[in-house]
Amino acid sequence: MKPARTWLGVLALAAAACGGGGSNRDPQAMTRHIEEQSRAAYPALPGADESATLRERGRGIFKAAGCELCHSTSRERKGMSGPPLGGLAEVMPGRHDNDALEARRWLYRHIRDPQRFAGPHAGTPEYRGAFMPPNTRLNDDEMRALIEFLWHLP
Ligand code: HEC
CA of 128 to the centre of ligand 1 (A): 13
* Residue 46 CB neighbour total at 10 angstroms: 18
Residue 75 Cα to ligand 1 middle (Å): 14
**What pLDDT shows up at residue 38?**
98
pLDDT of residue 23: 47
Which residues sit with their C-beta closer than 6 Å to ligand 1? 65-67, 69-71, 81-83, 85, 107, 110-111, 114, 118-122, 127, 130-133, 135, 146, 150
Contact 150, 88 (CB under 8 A): yes
**pLDDT averaged per 10 residues in sequence order, the chain, 154 residues:** 46 47 74 97 97 98 98 97 96 96 98 96 94 97 98 97
pLDDT at 25: 75
CB 84 within 8 A of CB 152: no
* Ligand 1 centroid to residue 7 C-alpha, Å: 19
pLDDT at 22: 45
Write down the pTM of the prediction.
Answer: 0.88
User: 3-state class of 19 per DSSP?
Assistant: coil
CA–centroid distance, residue 84 to ligand 1 (Å):
9
Helices (H), the chain: 2-18, 27-41, 48-64, 88-95, 100-112, 140-151
